[in-house]
Structure 1
Amino acid sequence: MSGGVVEGKEHKDGEENMAAWLVGIKTLKIEPYHLPPLGPHDVKVQIKALGICGSDVHHFKNMRCANFIVKKPMVIGHECAGIVEEVGSQVKTLAVGDRVALEPGISCRRCNHCKDGRYNLCPEMKFFGSPPTNGSLANKVVHPEYLCFKLPDNVSLEEGAMCEPLSVGVHACRRANISPETNVLIMGAGPIGLVVLLAARAFGAPRIVIVDVDDCRLSIAKNLGADETIQVSMNIQDVGEEVVKIQSAMGSGIDVSFDCVGLNKTMSTALNATRSGGKVCLIGLAQSETTVPLTAAAVREVDVIGVFRYRNTWPLCIELLKTGKIDVKPLITHRFAFSQKGVEDAFETSASGRSAIKVMFNL
């Protein structure tokens, strides 16, 4: 089913390696997952913590996320950390028993994007749980040594798994050059909006305003350190009025706006609210096509920056967690065991939204 080499029994004690397979719309089944043989530069990792991402939920609900379509059964999940169980013959930086956070995308390392250091844009990227590549909601996975990052003693496996969503925030802040001179607006207080909030503060942003339709999520954002929160409507007719409110709450020019939603309304708000010469960073992409007031933004020289996943972020994320500059623990709102019922309940909880920010599996 996986396309890997069938090695029969996986565990020395006779247990099979099991994984959560997405087999249809809202249908997950825990079934055997036969891993490929361990290459000389690979490690076998026992997965211990895994978070559910918005893209996982899209796959679960629709069998697709944007242009990534699930055409055959696929192991789901990619935000993960675990313990090294076995190392390949050429592995030098890791040992059995090491606790590691896994970066989920394997790039080709040969194309121009990879050679330029922008490997997140690699057209040959094999990314855990993004069709057709199997994910990591499994007892064990095999992964390259260079994409497994050792965790310090004071960083938990759950925090290690949170390096993946936090990486989106870190990469976005790097793309937008966030500094102690940058006032930041964040559209959307979901999981990505909240990690952008944490990252922007760690990068020194002096003032951060966050906007959402949900007062529950805004209260979480306030507790995480947002200077001001503003509840907005879903109605695009309200953009003008809400921009005035947002600018007033900032108290000075908005240097960078992060759109962590990706709707016509959120993009329009961000483009209109950002000061002349500022930047709008597009992270959330809820719609594949949008209609936004680009001309008005262009004459004010507002730069529009795209963000896709991340690159070279794990060392910094781990350092920010280790030093306490970022605390991701409050984002983990629900925990589930790795069982058929646990998997079903966890995905239903994450898909429902409501009070769920980060739903985590403990394996």
Structure 2
Amino acid sequence: MTLACRIHGARDLRLEPDEVAPLAPHEVELRLGAAGICGSDLHYFLHGRVGAFVIREPLIPGHEASGVVLRTGSAVRSVVPGMKVAINPSHPCGGCDYCRAGRDNLCRNMRFLGSASVYPHVQGMFRERFVMGERQLTPVPEDEVSLGEIACAEPLSIGLHGVNRAGPLMGKTVLVTGGGTIGCMTVLAARLAGAARVIVADIADRPLDMARMVGADEAVRGDQAAPAELADLADVSIEAAGSPAALATCLAATRRGGRIVQVGTLPAEGIAFPANNIMARELDYVGAFRAGVEFDWAVSYLRSRKVDVRPLMSAQLPLSRAVEAFELAADRSRSTKVQLVVEA
């Protein structure tokens, strides 16, 4: 038996015994390397839901993780025991119309780790040991790249996908609302895409400091800026805060003919939406949900250190201190990315 972290409802997180599933031929048993606490994990912990996804049975959260191979199934060829791996939490079916069209992040039959989007829920990786399919693993042979960095592949892929949905950014001004992990990953991705100027808006100082650290040209307190300071500011705005106020900032700041990309999850009860503003200013409003091939790009950027996520890694706590880790992750004045690890 091993240890797992399960959320039974709002603020009801328990450490409980867990059984490791038997290995099928194309499956791999892993020891947890590091697992980041994401905004959606926090929503499950604090509220028992993320948007429309409501916990209906005990859920093991965790979808951004790295692992170390312990055992391999008889048909596994790409990894061997002792190898470090990045773990893609998306498990699309490969056969539906969206998968065949190359948009597997929209798969009709998606099995996404640590999610209550389907029932029974898909259990995640906040546990000491677990079994994954071989195709969800990417080896990372570089000794100097840590398990904590590898676990950042998934949030980096979200930033990359949001920027991909924004269209060409070469020479453009990009506004990112939200200076948390996803906002900062979006800054890194916008830089990779050639943005000439990247501005981050947030309502707290620490996230803005982190955004500057990873390459933002300017950092603005959105709650203190005069409306005229933000008007007509950006060619592209990327909403990464999951806040109606942040979305309003995007709508005000995006120039006529520009594009807004919604990455953050807004409240389930909905918001008032200024559709006539979209129409009259010919704004493109698009969504960005999870990621597809961008996960592979993220692993490649981390392996080569073309992207350095280490400044965002605030703390690593053992799985046995999961409640403390969640409370720390929820405090934006003290942390950006908090990870769970297995005690030595």
TM category (shorter chain) comes to: over 0.9
Does the CA-based 8 Å contact 1:26-1:60 persist in structure 2?
yes
2:130 aligns to what? 141
* Deviation at residue 151 of structure 1 after TM alignment: 1.1
User: Match of 1:5?
Assistant: none
Residue 276 (1) aligns with residue 265 (2): no
Aligned 8 A contact 1:256 1:280 in 2? yes
Conserved? CA contact 2:244–2:266, under 8 Å: no
Tell me by how many angstroms 1:178 deviates. 4.0
- 8 Å CA contact 1:149–1:314 kept in 2: the answer is no
Answer yes or no: is the 8 Å Cα contact 2:145–2:303 preserved in 1: yes
What is the aligned counterpart of 2:215 among 222, 225, 250?
Answer: 225
SS in 2 for 1:186: strand
Shift in Å at residue 329 of structure 1? 0.6
Q: Find the residue that maps to 2:250 and give its secondary structure.
A: helix
1:32-47 matches, cutoff 5 A: 32-47=17-32
**Counterpart residue identity of residue 63, structure 2:** H
1:127 paired residue number: 112
SS at the partner of 2:255? coil
Q: Say what the alpha-carbon RMSD is for the aligned residues.
A: 1.7
Greater mean alpha carbon deviation, residues 118-127 or residues 204-213:
118-127
CA contact (8 A) 1:163 1:314 kept: yes
Residue 59 of structure 2: aligned partner: 74
Q: Which amino acid aligns with 2:259?
A: K
Pairing 1:8-27 to 2, within 5 Å after superposition:
16-27=1-12
Moved over 6 A (4+): none
Deviation of the 1:185 alpha carbon:
0.5
Contact 1:178 1:200 in 2 (8 A): no
Identical columns (%): 35
Flag structure 1 segments of 5+ consecutive residues without an equivalent.
Answer: 1-15
Which amino acid in the other structure matches residue 133 of structure 2? P
Whole-Å separation in 2 of the counterparts to 1:219 and 1:157: 25
1:262-317, Cα deviation, whole Å (9 max, x unpaired)? 33322222122112221100011232312132212222221111011100122211
2:173 counterpart (175, 178, 183): 183
Query: Conserved in 1, the CA contact under 8 Å of 2:61 and 2:125?
Result: yes
The question of 1:349 aligning with 2:339 is answered no
Any idea what the Cα deviations from partners look like across 1:122-178, whole Å, max 9, x if unmatched? 232121111211110111111111111111413211111000111100111111124
Supply the distance in 1 between the matched residues of 2:172 and 2:215 (Cα, whole angstroms).
16
SS of the residue aligned with 1:90?
coil
How many residues matched?
336
Q: TM-score if structure 1 supplies the norm length?
A: 0.88
Report the Cα offset of residue 19 of structure 1: 0.9
Greater gyration radius: 1
Per-residue CA deviations over 1:42-92 (Å, capped at 9, x if unaligned) read 111111111100100110111111111111112121110011111122222
- Correspondent of 2:291 among 310, 320, 334: 310
State the one-letter code of the partner of 2:248: S
2:304 to 309, 315, 323: 323
Which residue number corresponds to residue 230 of structure 2? 246
Determine the structure 2 residue equivalent to 1:337: 318
Matched AA of 2:245:
K
The equivalent position to 1:89 in structure 2, one of 61, 68, 74, is: 74
Q: Does the CA-based 8 Å contact 1:263-1:290 persist in structure 2?
A: no
Of the three residues 197, 204, 208, the one matched with 1:207 is 197
User: Which amino acid letter does the alignment assign opposite residue 152 of structure 2?
Assistant: M
Contact 1:272 1:297 (8 Å CA) reproduced = no
